[in-house]
Structure 1
Amino acid sequence: MKKIHLLLLKSFIRPFLVTLFIVMFVLLMLFLFKYIDDLIGKGFAWYTILELMMYNSATNVQMALPLSILLSTIMTYGALGENYELVAIKAAGISLKRAMYPMIVIITILSVAAFFFSDYMLPVANLKYYSLLYDARKQKSADLLPEGVFSTSFPGYTIRVKRKDPDGQRLYDIMIYQKSLNGDNNNTVILAREGTMFRTMGDKYLVLRLKDGVRYEETASENATYNTRQRLLRQRFKETETKFDLSGFKLARTNESEFKTASQMMNIRQLRHYLDSSQHSVDSNVMVNYKLVTPYIKYYSIPTQSKAIKNYKTFDPKKDAFQGLSLSEQQMSLSSAASEIRSIKDVIKNRSDRYKGDSENIRRYFVEYQKKYNLSVACLVLFLIGAPLGSIIRKGGLGLPVVVSVVFFLIYYIITTIGEKSVKGGDINKYLGMWISIITLLPIGLFLSYKAATDSALFDMEIYKRFINRVTAKFKAKATRHTH
């Protein structure tokens, strides 16, 4: 029995590692295709890109792990069925359920590990990934002086280079506008026929070595009072150097504490604390809303009838509500009522907008809270689908198992995404929306497990052909009887 268990484990571990690597690689390529324009050409160090890819790979585990488990289990049991090893196991008197015990143990361990990963490591990876990606996307381009464009990359300067060599070091027809100290006017202009560009040690400065040019500068005269452009200086040069500060082009990291309040950056304990405190705040605000609206509601007490007054004017609800009031009193009543209504609407609208925002935040954090558990259960359910499906299909390798696993994973992913969006929008019950994919796929897994345990030829096309032939034969027989 131990040899059979070792056979199953060895048959599973290799496809699992291979499929996990392939899925992670595909998801990483999708990340690069999506953000390639935000990363290329900004002068990042190689380890910055590598760090970003590593954090992205960690965030992709929650998608890659269920798909890898589904695909590897279909491949494992499909290969065992294709090589008649499952037949030999059943011939030895070992049922499929008993043969699946070691696999169930391994998948359970992976599910528990996925839970701890999503609770402890994933929030940290999300924090590192999103903060670094945010800083990388807002980083300035490393192409400081593009051809034929007035570049304002350096504060206080506007530079245009008409043409550059392919290596990007030699420049031609250079024009530099330098603003004054107050930043109002371009008081200095430098024109050069050609020049070279290089960086100093440590990339602290960019140096432009200009040749064959002229410098124009407008300054104020000694006794200038209101006009600051009374003196023009012109200086020709054979060679000169201009230095620009590059400190603004280095990757500036934002403080990670600014991202910690996002739902993806929290573990279960933090999410539970936020949900409890937010729900308590919403409930208390409801009581505050009642206290704010109550002063606008006026109650009038009707005095008892006096014995001295013989005739009382009765109010007829069928008539106008302003009966008995003069025109000025009616106008005053309408104006007062409209003013109070506007005040109540303003109070309710502000409180309503706040309530909607708090409710949306609660639903968003609830989604992240449930996803911690959903990942582990999804691994078990997809294994429950993959193992019997592989034994029924009896095909190993990367052919039919890949197609079947992708179809089931797409069903799982689409239903999960729709459920999450419905929960965030408040269109469905929170628990039903978060677990609807599990509720949908679990019966399918149980049905496939039953069919595999009873050696059902669920995907045997010959059975369906014979069934179709019998049905068509019956229809033909009925048609011939009606003709006769």
Structure 2
Amino acid sequence: MKKIHLLVIKAFIRPFVVTFFIVMFVLLMLFLFKYIDDLIGKGFEWHVIVRLLWYASATNVAMALPLAMLLSSIMTFGSLGENYELVAIKSAGISLQRAMMPLLVLISLLSISAFFFSDYMLPKANLKMGSLLYDVRNQKAAFLIQEGVFNNSFAGYSIRVKKKDPAKQMLYDILIYDHNSTNGNISTLMAKKGKMYTTEDNQYLVLKLMDGVRYEEKSGEVNYNPRQRFIREKFKETEQKFDLSVFTMQHTDEGAFKTNYMMLNQKELRHFRDSAQKNLDSSYRTVYQLLRPGYVLFNSQQDRLKKVMQKQIRPYKQSVAELVPADLRSAAIQNASGEAASVAGTLAQKKVETEDFRTQIRRYIIEYQRKFTLAMSCLILFSIGAPLGAIIRKGGLGLPVVMSIIFFLIYHIISTIAEKSAKEGSIQPVLGMWLAIIILAPLGVFLTYKATVDSALFNVEVYKQFFQGLFKNKKAKV
């Protein structure tokens, strides 16, 4: 028995590790393709990109782990079935459920680890990645001088070079316009060649220009002055400094992202959910306080309205305005319209406020339940993949990959649609997060039963013989 359990575990671990890292690699490539425009051409150091990918890989575990669990379980039991090892196990009097038991224990341990990972590690990874990605996306493009193109990276300057030598950091035919003056472009610098380098503290970019001339207009007046001075200054060598502080990546305080739903653990989610619920209850209680002035005004007129109604010889026929004396009717209608508009505006404002609180509560509940659904999804997809592999009896990366993708897409589509509906308030948040698991759990039980009784559920020949026999019966009746 122990040798069989060890055989099944060894057959599962290798494909699980391989498929997990393959899926993680694919998801990281998708992450790079998504944010490629924010990463290219900004002069980031290599460790910034590595940190971002490391945090992104942690956030991708929620999708990579269930998919790897499904694919590896199909591959494991498909390979055992293809090599007739499952037949040997069953012939020894060991049922499929007993053969799956060591893997079920292992998957349960992995699911528990996934729960603690999603509760402790994932919020921190989301916080680190969110703050770093914010800094990356708000980082200005690195200074890059292109040939024949005016570069406006530095505020107040336009730089153009005709030719450059990146290896020697040499520039040729340089033209610099200085726009820092309030009187327009009154300073122009031209040089035949120059060399660029940065200072030791990387705070300034220095252009060492050679064999050039500077043109500058001198005038103390804003308007055109025909007697203004024009200065032409030739030089053999000069230096122009540009501040590089605008290109240094600024690190945002992580505390600014701390209250985001995805960056909270269970304890924090419960705290913020309770706070939002208290705010919602307080908002409900203040509705009457805001509407009370108009209600009191209406009550103050009750005695007068009763006296008017008692003096009426006949009931009013057209509108309630007939109860008000004619000389006061216009003012009463204006007051009523104003009160109605005030009440409508107050209710509309409170509706928006309460809906914001409801949305916050739903998001906190969704993120709270997500920590449990990650662990349960591993168990459910394993309960689908293991009997499915025993039924199809195919190992490798062919049919198992196709079947795993199909079932994972079913799970992912259901969970995505249900989660979106829960966020919008169409269904309860708890139901939305557990709907995919509730739907797929009976499928796992059904496939386990079919695998236990050696059902040919995916055998094409069985269906072919069935339809051939059906058509033969119909022809015999005719």
What's the TM-score bracket when you normalise by the shorter of the two chains? over 0.9
Q: Which amino acid aligns with 1:17?
A: V
Q: Retained in 1: the 8 A contact 2:183–2:222?
A: no
> How far did 1:125 drift?
0.5
Match of residue 354 from structure 1: 353
| Residues 190-199 or 389-398, more deviating | 190-199
2:374 counterpart of 1:375: yes
Match of residue 454 from structure 2: 455
- Cα deviation 1:153-192 (Å, max 9, x = unaligned): 22332323344446593333322222447x5644432122
Secondary structure of the 1:316 match is coil
| Residues 329-338 or 111-120, more deviating | 329-338
Q: Retained in 2: the 8 A contact 1:178–1:186?
A: yes
Q: Which amino acid aligns with 2:150?
A: F
Q: Retained in 2: the 8 A contact 1:416–1:434?
A: yes
> How far did 1:333 drift?
1.6
Q: Say which of 276, 289, 292 aligns to 2:290.
A: 292
Secondary structure of the 2:311 match is coil
Q: Distance in 2 between matches of 1:474 and 1:15?
A: 46
Match of residue 482 from structure 1: none
Q: Distance in 2 between matches of 1:225 and 1:125?
A: 56
Match of residue 281 from structure 1: 279
Q: Distance in 2 between matches of 1:305 and 1:261?
A: 56
Secondary structure of the 1:28 match is helix
Q: Distance in 2 between matches of 1:107 and 1:9?
A: 10
Q: Post-superposition, which runs of at least 4 consecutive aligned residues in structure 1 deviate over 6 A?
A: 224-229, 303-306
Secondary structure of the 2:44 match is coil
Secondary structure of the 1:455 match is coil
Q: Distance in 1 between matches of 2:406 and 2:219?
A: 76
Aligned counterparts, 1:231-242, within 5 A: 231-242=229-240
Match of residue 73 from structure 1: 73
Q: Distance in 2 between matches of 1:245 and 1:303?
A: 78
Q: Distance in 2 between matches of 1:325 and 1:301?
A: 12
Structure 2: tracts of 5 or more residues without a match: none
> How far did 1:294 drift?
2.0
Q: Distance in 2 between matches of 1:62 and 1:302?
A: 67
- Change in Cα spacing, 1:328 to 1:177, as seen in structure 2 (3 Å) is farther
Q: Which amino acid aligns with 1:353?
A: V
Structure 1: tracts of 5 or more residues without a match: 480-484
Aligned counterparts, 1:396-475, within 5 A: 396-475=395-474
Q: Distance in 2 between matches of 1:331 and 1:178?
A: 69
Q: Retained in 2: the 8 A contact 1:180–1:187?
A: no
| Residues 90-99 or 194-203, more deviating | 194-203
Secondary structure of the 1:437 match is helix
Q: Retained in 1: the 8 A contact 2:366–2:430?
A: no
Q: Distance in 2 between matches of 1:139 and 1:168?
A: 27
Match of residue 146 from structure 2: 146
- Cα deviation 1:52-97 (Å, max 9, x = unaligned): 1111101000000000000001111111111111111111111111
Aligned counterparts, 1:1-20, within 5 A: 1-20=1-20
> How far did 1:32 drift?
1.0
Q: Distance in 2 between matches of 1:247 and 1:302?
A: 75
Match of residue 330 from structure 2: 331
Match of residue 29 from structure 2: 29
Q: Retained in 1: the 8 A contact 2:369–2:433?
A: yes
> How far did 1:324 drift?
5.8
Secondary structure of the 1:154 match is coil
- Change in Cα spacing, 1:394 to 1:317, as seen in structure 2 (3 Å) is farther
TM norm structure 2: 0.93
Q: Distance in 2 between matches of 1:38 and 1:385?
A: 40
Aligned counterparts, 1:258-273, within 5 A: 258-273=256-271
> How far did 1:123 drift?
0.4
> How far did 1:327 drift?
5.2
| Residues 135-144 or 268-277, more deviating | 135-144
Q: Retained in 2: the 8 A contact 1:73–1:390?
A: yes
Q: Distance in 2 between matches of 1:31 and 1:259?
A: 20
Q: Retained in 2: the 8 A contact 1:363–1:423?
A: yes
Overall identity of the aligned pairs, in %? 54
Q: Distance in 1 between matches of 2:305 and 2:47?
A: 88
Match of residue 95 from structure 2: 95
Aligned counterparts, 1:305-324, within 5 A: 312-314=311-313, 316-323=315-322
> How far did 1:477 drift?
2.0
Q: Distance in 2 between matches of 1:96 and 1:86?
A: 8
Match of residue 170 from structure 2: 170
Match of residue 44 from structure 1: 44
Secondary structure of the 1:100 match is helix
Q: Distance in 2 between matches of 1:305 and 1:436?
A: 58
TM norm structure 1: 0.92
- Change in Cα spacing, 1:247 to 1:320, as seen in structure 2 (3 Å) is closer
Secondary structure of the 1:201 match is coil
